[in-house]
A and B are shown apart, each in its own frame.
Chain A
Amino acid sequence: MAEFINLYLIPGIAIGCIYALGAVGISLVFAILRFAHFAHGDVMTLGAYIAYSLVAAFGWSVYAALPFALLGGAIACVAIDRTVYRPFRRAPGIIVVIASFGVMLVLRSAIQLGWGVDVLAYETGIRRPLPLFGDIRMAQKHIIIIAVSIAIAAALHWFLSSSRMGKAMRAMSDDADLARVSGIDTERVVRWTWLIGGGLAAAAGIFAGINTKLHPGIGWDLLLPLFAAAILGGIGRPYGAIVGGLSIGIAQEVATYPWIGGDPLVPPAYKNAVAFFVMVAMLVWRPTGLFKGRVL
């Protein structure tokens, strides 16, 4: 039992937090701008590399670099929106998706040019997991990933439920035209959407880098579980995306537990297949997701 919790459940929760942070951005962009942002994985990668540069340049701990990288990811997203996505506001949604392909190519190749393609790490050496109680142990990185994610989720909750901007976002998500005629500055809402989505994506990218290693494909590899999480939670529902992310993360890890016989039930190389099957199952049975999101 302790082995199951230590090696499968806790890492699953940590990965679930990473998915949740990324999926919230995808879901928000969907709610406000009505398109599936395919470059979101590469925004995560960008955030992770910005943090790496700060760690390498100033010798900071990666956790000290986190807020700055968050800001970097947020500003990058607003800049991308200004230059690339804004001209498509009145175009059919699917055209913007193709444009996000272009953004994905640009971001990834820029990262490969700027930082190279080698596998990097924020810190070297191995840390022993900390004993919590009984046989339950938790790696320090997992504790921090989960704690910071909870803090970010709480801040997000406050923002969406209590601030004027959060209210405006909800209004625009329900009906963009109605929000506009009610005097809401929709471009400002869009800007905030990207700030939040980009910041969360950067955090998710950094956590993914802490959890394993840093490489230019780190975000792209997470894109499939992120979409699965967003669909599971209900597209356009940020809280749903959190639940969806956690569920997919835990499901992926727990599926590799040797439930039957001595071999992993699902070979670890096929973790992403779990996310895919959850996504397909949701599309078949309940395309609105668990939390009654939008059906496109």
Chain B
Amino acid sequence: MDITLYGLMMYGLALLTMMAIYGVLCLALNLQWGFAGLFNAGIAGFFAVGAYATAILTAPESPNHLGGYGWPPLLALPVAMALAGIIAWPVGRICLGLKGDYLAMATIGIAEIIRLVFKNESWLANGTMGISTVPRPFESLGQPWGNLAFLALVLAIVIALYFSAERAWVSPWGRAMRAIRDNETAAAAIGKDVVRFRLEAFVLGAMVMGLGGGLSAMYFKFIGATATEPLLTTFLVWVMLIIGGSGNNKGALLGAALVWLIWSGTELFTNRLPAEWITRSSYIRTLLIGVLLIVVLQRFAKGVLPERPPKRID
């Protein structure tokens, strides 16, 4: 096969895999923000819990960190999700009776604490060096088939999540969620347990974020301190959802694909800059993403694919 064509294909595979992983995270945030109007500023925390849990359960034994349990990757993912959910529950329990901004402050706090734990407890996850021996499913198939099979796995997960989310959107559960989001008092007056519904959306969303973290750890075969930084998870996912269209599952996926294309596309461009600019290129990208977020919020707050009111029943 042609060398450049092969390289292009591998690049395309990497691009699609990342889009799919971000798709998982965006669907999770849409569940919290789009469905229930919950402002989670700590995506990075739940992502990190899922990623580290997957890494510790599956990575081979090492003197540098906890591990050597040798779990099969696909069994580790549910545990990663459960752990993220267990951490989300008390946070939600405390904050969801209060209004939005409190949840934002508390989630940014919990993400910060989780970051500190993984950074400082080197026995747990090798501190800032991270865990670099995370197995990836299907890697025994070699390139490119292993990468292709992994992409297929992530895509299957995204598709399953998408259809569940679409089903949830039109279900009584989704309707109650939107009712609470749009008018809490009215929803409570007709007997909806506001805090309980919110807690369900928050914990479910956090679990899916943990799943995204687990998939990411597998894909990179590595999890380290950079992954707990809020930029690439919390902020980028928010930008994706807002640009794609919150309250619309298709929009969430489109936003993930679009913003990741911009993000990694600018990398292709900035890598051609003179050497002294390359180190700064990632800041230019961050600047661009920040400006994009503000402009979209001001001009097209509903995103590319806005939320659609449910069909009328005649």
Give chain A's interface residues, CB within 8 Å of chain B.
35-36, 38, 84, 87-88, 91, 93-95, 97-99, 101-106, 108-110, 112-113, 223-224, 227-228, 231, 267, 269-270, 272-273, 275-276, 279-280, 283-284, 287, 295-296
Which of the candidate stretches B75-83, B94-102, B201-209, B215-223 sits at the interface with the other chain? B94-102
Give Cα distance in the complex from A35 to B280, angstroms: 32
A296/B287 in contact, CB under 8 A? no
Residues of A within 8 A of B99 (CB): 295-296
Query: Which among B283, B291, B301 has the greatest number of chain A C-beta atoms within 10 A?
Result: B283
For the complex, would chain B's binding face be called helix, strand, loop or mixed by DSSP majority? helix
Q: Can you offer 27 A-B residue contacts whose CB atoms are under 8 A?
A: A36-B101, A91-B301, A94-B39, A94-B100, A95-B301, A97-B100, A97-B104, A99-B298, A101-B235, A102-B239, A102-B290, A105-B286, A105-B287, A106-B287, A106-B290, A108-B286, A109-B283, A109-B286, A109-B290, A110-B283, A112-B286, A270-B116, A273-B116, A276-B110, A280-B109, A296-B98, A296-B101
A112/B283 in contact, CB under 8 A? yes
B286/A223 in contact, CB under 8 A? no
A-B interface, 3 closest residue pairs, ranked by CB to CB distance from nearest: A105-B290, A102-B293, A106-B290
**B279-314 interface bits toward A, Cβ cutoff 8 Å, 1 = contact, 0 = none:** 010011111011111100110010000000000000
Total residues of chain B contacting the partner, CB 8 A: 41
Residues of B within 8 A of A287 (CB): 98, 102
Given known A38-B41, A93-B101, A295-B98, contact A105–B301 (CB-CB < 8 A): no
**B215-248 interface bits toward A, Cβ cutoff 8 Å, 1 = contact, 0 = none:** 0000000000000000100010011001000000
Residues of B within 8 A of A269 (CB): 116, 119-120
Residues of A within 8 A of B101 (CB): 35-36, 93-94, 97, 296
Give Cα distance in the complex from A250 to B113, angstroms: 19
Give Cα distance in the complex from A276 to B91, angstroms: 12
A283/B116 in contact, CB under 8 A? no
Give Cα distance in the complex from A35 to B102, angstroms: 10
A296/B283 in contact, CB under 8 A? no
Given known A94-B39, A98-B242, A287-B98, contact A104–B290 (CB-CB < 8 A): yes
Give Cα distance in the complex from A97 to B100, angstroms: 10
Query: B155 on the interface (CB 8 Å rule)?
Result: no
Set B102, B113, B231: member contacting A283, Cβ < 8 A: B102
Chain B 139-168 interface residues, beta-carbon cutoff 8 Å to A:
none
Residues of A within 8 A of B41 (CB): 38, 101
Can you name the residue of chain A whose Cβ is closest to the Cβ of B37? A94
Query: B108 on the interface (CB 8 Å rule)?
Result: yes
A279/B116 in contact, CB under 8 A? no
Query: B179 on the interface (CB 8 Å rule)?
Result: no
